[in-house]
Amino acid sequence: MGHDRADCDELGLTRELTARLESRSSTATLLGVLNNRSRPLRLKTRTLIALLVVSNVLGHFSLSRGLHEVGPLVSFAPWPFIHAFLNPLVAAGVALLMVWLISQLSLLSRVDLSYVLPVTSISYVLTALMGKFLLHEPVSTERWTGIGLVVLGVSLVARTVPRTAPVLSRSRNLP
């Protein structure tokens, strides 16, 4: 296909080749691959991001509520921890964080780490809001400033391409 599109026998990745490919409208997809740009976020990726953020926030919220009911765990003996796991809110928090971990694994298999962590860090903002309004925790001005910086960073990263590295073929380790 490259031979037909480039009208030559050899295909070296040169500026001349990319200029030749740019001149043909049917090669826009191939040019995008050569420039190492991935397609926009798909619905699956967006769904995984939403699932990851929601399970993270609700999981930590449930753990916090449940552990406040259980009381402090200050010993290394297993019984207080077993007792804590029997609390329904703690168990729900652990289950939600297991969903978070599975979502994280799936998302990291699709897109770049440098995209996933900043975009999903919006969960820090939501966790602080839930702590403030549902758990009635005091949130200082310094924390709100940090939360604002996180929101700014998330908005900048969300505008970037989610995958910049080529996907390797399982059979030949070729992009």
| Model confidence pTM above 0.85 | no
List per-residue pLDDT tens for the chain, 175 residues long. 444 444 555 555 555 555 554 544 444 443 443 344 445 557 888 899 999 999 999 999 999 999 999 988 888 888 889 999 999 999 999 999 999 999 999 999 988 888 888 888 889 889 999 999 999 999 999 999 998 998 888 888 878 887 776 666 555 554 5
Q: Can you say whether residue 8 is alpha, beta or left, with left for phi > 0 and alpha for psi between -120 and 50 degrees?
A: beta
Structure tokens at 138: 């005091």
52: nearest Cα among 110, 122, 5 = 122
What is the CA angle 14-16-18, rounded to 5?
75
119: nearest Cα among 155, 146, 144 = 155
Buried b (16+ CB within 10 A) or exposed e, 34-73: eeeebeebeeebeebbebbbbbbbbbbbbbbbbbeebeee
Structure tokens at 130: 């839930």
